[in-house]
Structure 1
Amino acid sequence: MNVRSPLCAPVVVGLLLAGCAEPLSGEAPPDAAPVTVPEQPQPAPVPISLRVPVPEGLRDSGSVLLVSRLHASRPAQEFVTALPSGSQEFEVDATPGEVLAVSLLDSAGALSESAMVQAGVSSVWPAKQAQPRILRVPQDYQRIQAAVDAARAGDTVLVKSGTYFETVRLKSGIQLLGSGARWTILDGGGAPVNLIDFSGASDVVVAGFTFQNVGTGNLCDAMDVMDCGGNWYSAAVYADGHTDQGEAPTSALLMHNVFRNNSIGAMLYFHARAVVRNNLFVGNTHGFVANHFQDVALVANNVFWENTREAIVSQAAWLDILNNVVARSEIGIWHAHIQTGRIRCNLFFENGVNGADIHLVPPRFEIGTDGNVELDPLFVSPEAGNFHPAGGSPLIDTGCFEGLEQNGTREDRGAYGGPLGSWQ
């Protein structure tokens, strides 16, 4: 059985393999005869088709479709497909329960659109306005939040280089883009704030920022990062999947960002799905946290460097952790509860321990299996913030996704590998 409530916790070791404790049904008396129930054949899953419209500006430009398939019972798969010239839409098949993270790239590899759809719940590409706009900060709007408030689904909020001291609450279907992570900074000033909050928002993109200096001060900030619900902590980027009616359709693509010197870099709480790829997490207390999560997410092609406590925390999460560099943390990947995604092709280096679990259970992964290795990543200059692989680095051409780089070679590990690996 799966963990059902973010507030429950296993109370004895014997319950660990069943997730959180739940009320037990009455037991049959000792002399009751066993009842044999004949097994019923299970129908084969019916494929579901998602039709992805190709924007007019990409139809003749050699656009690329990137599809990541996430499922609780099987490894993440990724496919990179060059769309034929003139394509107006592309059909992606899925099975019920599968979550599709779909991105459209132009011929240069730049992101055009992105969405996350769960097959069988919603198999319709999110509607966007016919003429999407670019809302510029500070040229059109003095504050980022003002531009977000004015944006509609399909619009892009483009933030000019500079340092900004504000918090932003996102809404569905917009792209929030900085002018490059090296030059566009959101600074928490040491306060216990969420710089970006996409709770209740779906199909958002956050790219091209440095998020820094989120401090502590909330009730649970001084406690273990799994002790409280996610809404009791402060994170540079945060999302809560709750609503008054249950879980919200919350989802995001977080890419090409730097998370630096924060209490928590990014936190996903209770069904707030995300694809977190091609980012740098440097010098945070906790890098990435899935808190009381109970859903699928993808953490791929990131660099976690010198995050003092944990690089990655996976609490009740089907978290696929692929092609990352996890280095110089007290704990590389920390798990709790039965849910486990696939942990493959990650490079570990100089951690206190590479993997740990809050309970006494078998290891979730082992060095030397599934492409996980322990080696010096051989970056160009991590002291100067350059996490590109140097010549001879074991990151080059050693990733293990289904897809390939756009030039046809095998994916690199680390923040500059994979189809979205071209960024500064």
Structure 2
Amino acid sequence: MKTKQSSLSLLFFFSLLTFYFSPELNATIRYVSKTGSSTPPYTSWATAADSIQKCINICEYGDTIYVANGVYKEKIVMIPGLSLIGAGMDSCVIDTRQFPATTDFYSVSLNNNSLIEGFKIYCKRIDWGTGIYVYGSLNIIKNNKILFAKYGVDIYTYPLGYNLIELNHVINTDYGIYCSFTNSLISNNIIIYPNVGLSSGLYNKSTYLNNVILYPNYDGFDGFTHNSILKNNFFLYEFRGGPLGSNTGISSYGDTIINNAIIGWPSYGHGFSGNSATLKNNHFENNYSAIQRVGGGSDLNFQYNNLWNNVINYTNFSADSTNIYRDPMFVRSDSLDYRLQKFSPLIDAGDPTILDLDGTRSDIGLYGGPFGQRYIYQDLPPKPPVNLTALVDTGRIMLRWNRNTEADTSHYNIFRSLNPDFTADSTTLFGSTTDTFFVDKLNQEYERLYYKITCVDRQGNQSNPSEELAIVFSSINDYPITINDYYLYQNYPNPFNPTTKIGYRLKEDGYVKLYVYNIKGELVDILVNQYQQGGYYEVEFNVGNSLQTVPQTLIASGIYIYQIMVRGRGDIPVFTDSKKMLFIK
């Protein structure tokens, strides 16, 4: 579905563009090319400048510069009223990595009424310099890619200047977008691998809409002051080292935070940390503590949020009954598709004073509210049941599995066969139950039996089958359990991009190693390397968070092997297995 641009964003954007549609009497279009010359006036591709800054130096207010593909190793200082348009964020490059590092280093600096669009900008490194520095008002920064900077975009526009920062990609920075003394619109940007994704400094009253912040080392949003508005932003952080709680989705002391999704790392960081803020219609998942109230200030205005699969929902805080704790039923969270399925408990469950784009009560989550997205809810099958186990007694087998958490779950179908790798269909359907256990009373002798189960929702959609469970009988009167009590599941989804989940079951306590290798046998990542108690476990493999941590060298498409090794009592090997998975970019 196409994202609906917010009315605020459009009005803001057009107000900034008014001066572009008021032609200056002496406005000129100029050109820059790697095959150009040093002879002005650069008014055609045939007479283009060989340097961006040389062309800027002869420009006047209202001029436009078009820059051809190529690598331009120079720092850029814009003049007021200039439009600088590159040929594309992946092919038109401003590279300043060769310059000496200083604390006030800028790859590009803007003053007032300027536009920069369509560039890849290499700054210096993550602890030095700024990709684009804005010290004026009514500037537009859009469709640029900024890499390796202390500040990807640094906005300082005293007193409270207005700027539009949208549709940029900011990668490997200390601070992705830093705002102070400004009232800007930060919209539809993607920020990857920052220490802090969005940072709000002194006297910042900016609005943040529909941004995506992936894998911050510390905070997705760090609010130093309390006047910002965050709506429909997506924060996904993972464990990247450091002490417990050093990762936080949103750190805020008074900001307004509505319809965001904050997805964390289980047993590690905080979804929200702070006080005095307003939080409504947000979704918090996979955090150690979803909400942590710290410091002084007033209490949180915390209503109509959903908290799911967090180790602790609240620290130093108690929420009211408007908040819910349900499986959100996302379309495919493993592929970062956080739209809601039909029958999700988050539909029309938000603040009743906030409306969706279709005029109904707002949904909780990323796509609810007036700045969200209009889409059709899909009625998808449930997830396959997991952790299928069995207890065998004389003349009967009791199957058990984990309960599905989808709101529209109806019942489970049990399938049985005498043959391995069988198909779960009408010919092998053996029984049904609404419980999470099923007893098979044996009325004859068997050498082997194989079982699978599926989950069926109230609309009749049936999940893919669970893993296959094998039981081998050694004699007519003796029923020892020889099932796959240690088990390595097939990853899901498969193929995948960029994440997949790998499940495994341990019969007893043991030391577990779970490694990922490429097809050459080279180690790609270590997913588990610790002592664990018996039971079912699930771990995520993310290509962007593998041992190859530099984004430019992410693993290539192809087949990968994941292998589990378990050592039991006395450090004796008790189980090993491996399976293939397919990564497709």
Query: What is the CA distance between 1:306 and its match in structure 2?
Result: 2.5
Aligned with 2:271 (options 325, 329, 332): 332
Alignment of 1:265-414 (within 5 A): 265-285=197-217, 286-291=219-224, 293=225, 295-308=226-239, 309-314=247-252, 317-329=253-265, 330-335=269-274, 340-359=276-295, 364=300, 365=302, 369=320, 371-400=322-351, 402=353, 404-414=355-365
Residue number among 122, 128, 131 corresponding to 1:165 in the alignment: 122
CA distance in structure 1 between the partners assigned to 2:167 and 2:214 by the alignment: 16
Shift of 1:213: 1.3
Match of 2:142 in 1: 177
Contact 2:6 2:371 in 1 (8 A): no
Partners of 1:254 and 1:277 within 8 A in 2: yes
Conserved? CA contact 2:281–2:363, under 8 Å: no
Question: Structure 2-normalised TM-score?
Answer: 0.39
Aligned to 1:112: 13
Check conservation: 2:254, 2:277, Cα contact below 8 A. Answer: yes
Instruction: Tell me what 2:146 maps to.
Output: 186
Which structure has the larger Rg?
2
- Higher relative contact order (Cα pairs below 8 Å, separated by 6+ residues): 1
Match of 1:200 in 2: 157
5+ residue gaps, structure 2: 24-61, 84-110, 124-130, 240-246, 303-316, 375-585
Amino acid across the alignment from 2:372: G
Q: Between 303-312 and 408-417, report the one with greater CA deviation.
A: 408-417
Indicate conservation of the 8 Å contact 1:237/1:267, yes or no.
yes
Following the alignment from structure 2 to structure 1, what is the Cα–Cα distance between the partners of residues 114 and 318?
Answer: 44
Aligned to 2:419: none
Greater strand share, structure number: 2
Structure 1 residue 274 displacement after superposition? 1.0
Q: Given the two structures, how large is their TM-score scaled by the length of structure 1?
A: 0.53
SS across alignment from 2:334: helix
RMSD (CA atoms): 3.8
CA distance in 1, matches of 2:65, 2:343: 41
Measured at CA, do residues 204 and 355 of structure 1 come closer, stay the same or move farther in structure 2, by a change above 3 Å?
Answer: same
User: Residue 73 of structure 1 corresponds to which residue in structure 2?
Assistant: none
Task: Name 2:176's counterpart in structure 1.
Answer: 236
Counterpart contact for 2:357–2:371, Cα < 8 Å: no
Compared with structure 1, are the counterparts of its residues 271 and 380 closer, same or farther at alpha carbon in structure 2 (3 Å cutoff)?
same
Distance in structure 2 (CA, Å) of the matches to 1:381 and 1:169: 37
2:79–2:114 CA contact under 8 A, matched in 1: no
Cα shift at 1:270: 1.5
Q: Between Structure 1 and Structure 2, how many residues are aligned?
A: 266
Relative to structure 1, the CA distance from residue 360 to residue 103 in structure 2 (aligned partners, 3 Å threshold; closer, same or farther) is closer
Contact 1:411 1:418 in 2 (8 A): yes
Shift of 1:397: 4.1
Conserved? CA contact 1:185–1:210, under 8 Å: yes
Could you tell me how far apart the structure 2 residues matched to 1:144 and 1:393 are?
A: 51
Instruction: Please report how far the alpha carbon of residue 413 of structure 1 lies from its aligned counterpart in structure 2 after TM superposition.
Output: 4.0
Identity rate, percent:
20
Q: What is the CA–CA distance in structure 1 between the aligned matches of 2:179 and 2:345, rounded to whole Å? A: 34
